[in-house]
Amino acid sequence: MTRYQSQLDKFSTLCQTNGKTWQSINPEFANRMTLQNRFKTGLDIAKYTAKIMREDMAAYDQDSSQYTQSLGCWHGFTAQQMMMAIKRHQKTTKRSYVYLSGWMVAALRSEFGPLPDQSMHEKTSVPKLIEEIYTFLKQADARELDHLYRELDDAKATGANTQEIINNIDNFETHVVPIIADIDAGFGNEEATYLLAKKMIEAGACAIQIENQVSDAKQCGHQAGKVTVPHEDFLAKINAVRYAFLELGVEDGIIVARTDSLGASLTQKIPVSKEPGDLASQYTAFLDTTPITSADDLNDGEMAIKLDGQLCKPVRLENGLYQFKDGTEKDRVVLDCVTSLRSGADLLWIETEKPHVQQIAELVNRIKEHVPNAKLVYNNSPSFNWTLKFREQVYAQWQQEGRDLSQYPDPSLDPKALMAPQLDSSELAAAADELVRNFQRDGAREAGIFHHLITLPTYHTAALSTDILAEGYFGDLGMLAYVRDVQRQEIRREQASVKHQDLAGSNIGDTHKEYFSGENALKAGGEANTMNQF
């Protein structure tokens, strides 16, 4: 018996049990509405997607080609369109996730208006966006199933075989996929982190990414002025997130521990060491210090600490922050990552200043000496100039090989010379583009990258497409700018958005009205619906 028929039998029995008072309830309609809403709560989603993500992590451990990907989405509609496109083109949603970026929440979803990535936006906007994304993904399920139900009804009406359609309903693949959600630095102390994590999990998040910056001094990972916290403070927040998962019954929830230490040179706090070699003393050993011999070497308000038997004073800036020694960045990253994994984190995020597989691999291989199955979530950031950085890599490689580079500008003389449009058709540009094309495969194989994401792509696609349309529509092209560059492309790509009424739920509404009101239903569809032109 098919799942569809089994559910139908259950509702038929239920309706019969309730007798005449339920005589207007159609068991088949109730069955269809149940199947189109598989996930009743956000916790249902979190448990379902956590299981998927754990299975994907295990598959990656066996085969690095099984890496996962996502795009950052700032609205439920962008997430819906992404997953519908993936399912249409790839024929499956497997190994495809949604990333929720704190940067885009700040820039696009705050009631204050556009904000920088400094945790100034309302913390409640994060779980609200998670809930919104899953509302849109569930609506994509309902729409696609509604189309299958209509096919089923048409087949029944003509006496055609319905088995294939019922199989498609039974084996329907949901658009609901894991979300990796950015909690920034926790928006406060560990209790604040716990409370917000609970809201995010209740909204459906199975994976929460948290960074080791100071919460009230948080900066975007690709900007200066980043201040990290001692390990004890960060581990308390990792614990807070784990307790939130456990309290809500999502026992296999995923914690992504992000370190910004590669680009952070400051700390706000010197931790207290309780025994030689502990985490606090390792953190303190990275401080930039000046040796002292007596109290006379200290100015008023300065402090002295003892490191390796030597009295010294840490370099303290005018804003009260302490400075790390130059050259300790990589060592701090490795310690951050090993400590996080040994203290409950499941995945790592290392924020780098450029996309370079060998640089990432160097760090990950050092981490794997301590935690062999260490895996990364990596930010394929739009903050990188991918064209320039990969042309630089090819130029440097060819220079090392002794190749003739006389036809190319020397980047040491002009840092942006390799961006010149006339180089786009060159051999160097082609080699660089091939590296970009293979970056995710290479990174997964050589640098332990389990999940590749682009944090802000839909921010940039919205900006670009709107600029192109506005240029033409308000210029000489007029309406042709929309017809040629938008609508005609939607039609030829068979995008659901061309029938925007259906995508927004009009046909689902008509179906439900018919369930509820029968022949008296006032439906929006029909011959007068202009959507029939498509």
Cβ atoms < 10 Å from Cβ of 305? 15
Answer yes or no: are the C-beta atoms of 45 and 134 closer than 8 Å.
yes
Phi, psi (degrees; rounded to nearest 5) at 267: -135, 155
| Residue that has been written with the tokens 């060998």 in this structure | 358
In sign, the C-alpha dihedral spanning 468, 471, 477, 478 is positive
- For residue 451, the tally of other CB atoms under 10 A from its CB is 29
Residue 349 buriedness (CB in 10 A; 0-12 / 13-18 / 19+): buried
Q: Are 413 and 485 in contact (CB under 8 A)?
A: no
Q: In what order do the strands lie in the sheet with 305-307?
A: 289-291, 310-314, 305-307
| The pair of three-digit structure tokens given for residue 442, joined into one six-digit string | 């290479």
Residue 70 dihedral angles phi and psi, to the nearest 5°: -155, 165
C-alpha neighbours within 13 Å on the C-beta side of residue 423: 20
Alpha carbons within 13 A on the beta-carbon side of 517: 10
In one-letter notation, the amino acid at residue 217 is A
As a whole number of angstroms, the distance between CA 455 and CA 74 comes to: 10
5 to 8, 143, 503, 508, 512: CA distances (angstroms): 5, 21, 28, 22, 20
Q: Are strands 68-72 and 449-454 parallel, antiparallel or unpaired?
A: parallel
Residue closest to 221 by CA, chosen among 251, 179, 181, 259: 259
Helix 386-401 vs helix 427-437: angle between axes, to the nearest 10 degrees?
120
Residue 286 sits at the vertex; the CA angle it makes with 281 and 290, to the nearest 5 degrees, is: 100
Q: Distance (Å, rounded) from C-alpha 314 to C-alpha 302?
A: 9
Asked if residues 109 and 96 have their Cβ atoms less than 8 Å apart, the reply is no
Contacts of 165 (CB under 8 A, 6+ apart): 148, 151, 152, 155
Maximal C-alpha separation, the chain: 99
> 183 with 200: CB under 8 angstroms?
yes
Catalytic amino acids?
220
Cα 243 to Cα 410: distance, rounded to the nearest angstrom: 54
The neighbour count for residue 433, using CB atoms within 10 Å, is 16
